[in-house]
Amino acid sequence: MTGPHITLDDLSVDFDGRFQLHDVTWAIAPGEQWLITGANGSGKSALAAVLAGEGDITSGTLSGLPDGVALVSYERQAELIAAELRKDDADILDVISDGTPVAEVIADGCLDEQLAEELVDTLGLRPLMDRAFRKLSTGETRKVMLIRALTSGPDLLVLDEPFDGLDHDSLLWLRGYLTDRAKTLPMVMVLNRFDECPDFITHMAYVEDGRLLHQVDRADERAFGELHQLLHLKTSDLEVPAGDPAIELPALNPDEPLVQIKRATVRYTDNVVFENLDWTIEANQHWQVSGPNGSGKTCLLSLITGDHPQCYVNDITVFGFQRGTGESIWQIKQYIGYVSTALQWEYRVGTSLRNVIISGFYDSIGLYTRSTDTQKAIADDWLALLGMTDRADEPFNAMSFGEQRLALIARAMVKHPPLLILDEPCLGLDDMNRQLVLALIERICAGSTTTVLYVNHRTQDHIPGIDQHLAL
């Protein structure tokens, strides 16, 4: 298929000061059919509108746009209606006007009358042809918009949520029709729901905060799956599942800090990791811990979790236990959820994805206790949130690195611990998986009373809501 070769190079666009697209670099080659996705308000519709010549370019270049670009979108629809209403106002008062009839709106700019006639019949608009355009329902208006775009002899068709508001039969028909037209007509489509993505789409773009963050070739199944999951985490209205009501932790004294470390020192025979470190963590105080490699970030955290043996020779009180006074490590761990790369390496036990999540209730690596039905249900709710429902029974060690990380974060959070420790949760992940993890953490932070300790040396992996900072 021949077609336009459209290039956006470092393009920034302003829409009346209300919204901006930033630094978009994107190329649509002949033969490619694109889908743009992103959460609401991400800028995916704006990016589509740019192709139809909307917005003011503030920097960068846009080249290769063909002449005939037809755009179907809510905005265009609203504009047309608004124009109709303005016409009403302008009319001489003594002439009663119903506005422009549908037939006229369709004829306006139509280059293929035969096709228009066919589409009017297929979409059931025939009885409405004499009706005023502005009196149509939203779905009917949308059909009119589609007919206008399809009969305008376009070189590029830009469809922003074309299936929205259509009745089931029309929707099915449109999918089939577009599939047919796509053989010769380049298209860019905006869709909120991944599962509506037609088969003819060859490439995907993901937009967030006015930026084009990912471009994925559909043939790359793995990237396609990850993008799907990212969109799910960003847009799904599922809640973070509640904890297990049957597990009751011994209550913490609300007047005491969660963690109090006094003059802590960790040393080995030949080096000192840190000395005289004081740190108090109050409940609901979220902390970011940063420092160069080797500064002892992980070491410090493991004094809290009890995984570092020198916790016994330091003055440390966690969750009311002065360490080294006869408490067991499991009494400490019950209050903590923990994720790190090291944990992922250690998690080499052959078990299912669901069991990995359930193991968070028992602070174990692998599952050694018969879990309850409630716990299984909670784990399944987490898998739904992660967009991994159909993979519950797959072996954990066969999953990709990024998927494992997501599951381990769910495992850490499944019991809603008073303290959640995230030790470089994005380490070793590619861009897409980093965003997946951050999206999940953000959702967790938003919906719970857990205190979060977050170790990261990449400042761009910032999580909203974390305000305290410890630099090592």
Partner 1 sequence: MANYFNTLSLREQLAELGKCRFMHLDEFSDGVEALKGKKMVVIGCGAQGLNQGLNLRDSGLDVSYALREGAIAEQRQSWKNATENGFTVGTYEELLPTADVVLNLTPDKQHTNVVNTIMPMMKQGACLSYSHGFNIVEEGMQVRDDITVIMVAPKCPGSEVRAEYVRGFGVPTLIAVHEDNDPNGEGLALAKAYAVGTGGHKAGVLMSSFIAEVKSDLMGEQTILCGMLQTGSLLCFDKMIEEGVEPGYAAKLIQYGWETVTEALKYGGVTNMMDRLSNPAKIRAFELSEQMKDIMRPLYNKHQDDIMTGAFSSGMMEDWANDDAKLLGWRADTAETAFEKTEAGDVEISEQEYFDNGILMVAMVKAGVELAFETMTAAGIIADSAYYESLHETPLIANTIARKKLYEMNATISDTAEYGCYLYNHACVPLLADFMTGVTAADIGVGLDLDDTAVDNARLIEVNAAIRSHPVEEIGAELRGYMADMKRIV
Q: Which of 95, 221, 370, 390 binds partner 1 (CB under 8 A)?
A: 370
CB of 330 to partner 1, least distance (A): 8
The size of the interface with partner 1 (CB under 8 A), counted in residues, is 30
Least gap, CB of 437 to partner 1 (angstroms)? 24
Using CB under 8 A as the binding rule, whether residue 327 contacts partner 1 is answered as yes
Whole-angstrom Cα distance, residue 436 to residue 211? Answer: 16
Tokens of 304: 């809290």
- Least distance in angstroms from the C-beta of 351 to partner 1: 6
Phi, then psi, of 279 in degrees rounded to 5: -155, 130
Q: Least distance from C-beta 427 to partner 1, angstroms?
A: 21
CB of 233 to partner 1, least distance (A): 28
**Shortest Å distance, C-beta 322 to partner 1:** 13
Restricting to residues 305-324, name those near partner 1 by CB under 8 A: 306-307, 309-313
Beta strands across the sheet bearing 419-423? 336-339, 419-423, 451-455, 287-290, 468-471
Counting contacts by CB under 8 A, is residue 459 touching partner 1?
Answer: no
Question: Does residue number 365 form part of the binding site for partner 1 (CB under 8 A)?
Answer: yes
Alpha carbon separation from 26 to 11, 83, 203, 317 (Å, rounded): 9, 33, 12, 54
Rule CB under 8 A: say whether 350 interacts with partner 1: yes
Q: Which of 364, 372, 374, 448 binds partner 1 (CB under 8 A)?
A: 364
Query: Is residue 349 a contact residue for partner 1 (CB under 8 A)?
Result: yes
Cα-based distances in Å from 434 to 153, 290, 324: 43, 18, 38
**CA–CA distance, 264 with 272 (Å, rounded to integer):** 11
Closest CA to 68 of 157, 137, 136, 172: 157
Out of 363, 403, 423, 461, point to the residue binding partner 1 (CB under 8 A).
363
Q: Is 367 in the site for partner 1 (CB under 8 A)?
A: yes
Nearer residue to partner 1 within complex by CB, 42 or 359 = 359
Cα-Cα-Cα-Cα dihedral sign, residues 349, 354, 360, 361: negative
The torsion defined by the Cα of 366, 367, 373 and 374, in degrees rounded to 10, comes to -70
* Residue of 368, 449, 459, 467 interacting with partner 1 (CB under 8 A): 368
The tokens of 398 are what? 């066969």
Closest approach, Cβ 362 to partner 1, in A, equals 6
Q: Which of 329, 377, 398, 471 binds partner 1 (CB under 8 A)?
A: 329
User: Is residue 328 at the binding interface for partner 1, with CB under 8 A as the rule?
Assistant: yes
Rg over alpha carbons for the chain, rounded to the nearest Å, is 28
| Nearest Cα to Cα of residue 345 among 362, 365, 368 | 365
> What is the nearest approach in angstroms of partner 1 to the Cβ of residue 349?
7
Give, in order, the Cα–Cα distances in Å from 218 to each of 133, 194, 222. Answer: 39, 12, 9
**Sole window of 149-157, 188-196, 359-367, 458-466 interacting with partner 1 (rule: CB under 8 A):** 359-367
How many whole angstroms separate alpha carbon 443 and alpha carbon 441? 5
Site string (230-269) toward partner 1, x via CB under 8 A: --------------------------------------xx
Q: How far is the CB of 306 from partner 1 (least distance, A)?
A: 7
How far, in Å, CA of 123 to CA of 120, rounded? 5
Binding residues for partner 1 (CB under 8 A): 268-269, 306-307, 309-313, 326-331, 346, 349-351, 355, 359, 362-370
